């Protein structure tokens, strides 16, 4: 915190380059004798303009680059192999969950289902036959007309046929499911992508050719970004006690996105190669103004406002000892003042040594 005396006397001097350049040009064009005379003569005063800075409230925020992604991004794949017969949707259109997207040739799967039903009927008949035989032999065993071994063989055959029946029932269900999979539907609601396979293409389940299109949910939309460890510590230590940190987006055209977001994910480990932590924020996107893959600037207002002296960027000079400005001393002469400008606020530098937080 600056003293009252320093506040009243802190003035920045901005040298006007348009005045200095003609002086340097005139000196460089002089003869040796004229140069000596110019050096012995007192130089004329350099015109300057001054600005008195006053402490003012500024938001404590920082910006990082982020990239958008859909809240849900789903690959739509063929689950059975076959010929792609027809597209059933408009590329790029919004689709609802369960909506039909593609039709795969049905006839081979209808035949497979009919064969499975026939095998099921055969297995059912065999089970009934062996069951009757086992019941008949049980009566004969009670009369001791057959040996126990003959009855045990009949009972075992009945159990084996029962297992065969269960396998046939499972084959029927699988065949019916495969037939159902010939109609490819949207697993979730979202915006459809372009179709990746043409009509008439052979699709092979489990391979690259099975990928048909993608679906993405844009509302809400997520933004991934990374923060360095010191920045993350500042975010955690300086967060407002009464509400969450405000997160806004700056679009590529420089405009600020109308909706504010909130953090919904923070990684539990630090990237050893970069020393950063992955974070993700969620933003409403009802008009689909933001698209997945878009680069934006994430602006995080992480603390209450601070009282600081803002230094115009054009008044800050760079020297061997770092950045500095000229200030007006008590005798009216310009003095060099080193600063530790580390942050920007609009078009001004903020010196952290001149800042105090509310």
Q: What's the pTM value of the predicted model, to 2 decimals?
A: 0.61
The domain that contains 129 carries what CATH number?
2.40.50.100
Q: In the listed set 215, 241, 276, which residue is the last one of a domain according to the structure?
A: 215
Domain tally, the chain: 3
Q: Tell me the C-alpha to C-alpha distance, in Å, between residue 171 and each of 112, 125, 206, 230.
A: 9, 17, 20, 60
Tokens of 233: 């510590």
Cβ proximity of 256 and 248 under 8 Å = yes
pLDDT digits (tens, 9 = 90+) for 287-326: 889 988 999 999 887 655 566 677 787 888 888 877 888 8
pLDDT for residue 119:
95
Domain enclosing residue 274, as ranges: 60-71+222-306
Angstrom distance (rounded) from CA 10 to CA 2: 10
> Of 215, 246, 278, which residue is a domain's last?
215
* CATH assignment at residue 240: 2.40.30.170
pLDDT, average across residues 127-150: 86
Residue 211 and residue 80 share a domain: yes
Same domain, 190 and 270: no
pLDDT at position 342, please?
56
Over residues 185-242, the pLDDT tens digits come to 999 999 999 999 999 999 999 999 999 999 999 889 999 999 887 777 766 665 544 3
The more confidently predicted of residues 206 and 328 is 206
């Amino acid at each position: 915190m600056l003293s009252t005396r320093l506040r009243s006397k802190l003035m920045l001097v901005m040298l006007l380059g348009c005045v200095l350049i003609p002086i340097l040009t005139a000196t460089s064009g002089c003869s040796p004798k004229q140069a000596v005379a110019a050096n012995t003569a007192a130089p004329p005063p350099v015109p300057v303009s001054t600005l008195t800075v006053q402490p003012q409230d500024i938001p404590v925020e920082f910006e990082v680059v982020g990239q958008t992604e859909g809240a849900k991004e789903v690959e739509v794949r063929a689950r059975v192999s076959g010929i792609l017969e027809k597209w059933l949707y408009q590329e790029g259109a919004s689709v609802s969950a369960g909506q039909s997207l593609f039709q795969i040739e049905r006839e081979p799967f209808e035949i497979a289902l009919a064969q499975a039903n026939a095998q099921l009927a055969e297995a059912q008949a065999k089970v009934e036959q062996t069951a009757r035989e086992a019941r008949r032999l049980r009566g004969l065993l009670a009369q001791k007309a057959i040996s126990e071994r003959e009855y045990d063989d009949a009972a075992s055959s009945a159990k084996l046929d029962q297992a065969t029946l269960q396998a046939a029932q499972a084959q029927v269900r699988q065949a019916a499911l495969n037939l159902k999979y010939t109609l490819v539907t949207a697993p979730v609601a979202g915006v459809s992508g372009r179709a990746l396979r043409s009509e008439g293409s052979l699709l092979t389940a489990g391979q690259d050719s099975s990928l048909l299109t993608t679906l993405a949910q844009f509302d809400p939309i997520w933004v991934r970004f990374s923060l360095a460890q010191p920045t993350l510590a500042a975010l955690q230590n300086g967060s407002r006690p009464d509400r969450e940190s405000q997160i806004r987006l700056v679009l590529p055209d420089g405009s600020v996105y109308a909706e504010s977001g909130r953090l919904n994910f923070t990684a539990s480990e630090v990237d050893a190669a970069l020393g950063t932590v992955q974070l993700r924020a969620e933003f409403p996107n009802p008009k689909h103004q933001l698209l997945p893959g878009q680069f934006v600037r994430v602006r995080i207002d992480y603390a209450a406002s601070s009282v600081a002296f803002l230094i115009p960027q054009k008044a800050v000079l760079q020297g061997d000892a770092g950045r500095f400005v000229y200030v007006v001393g008590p005798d009216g002469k310009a003095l060099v003042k080193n600063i530790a400008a580390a942050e920007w606020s609009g078009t001004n530098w903020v010196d952290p040594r001149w800042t105090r937080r509310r």
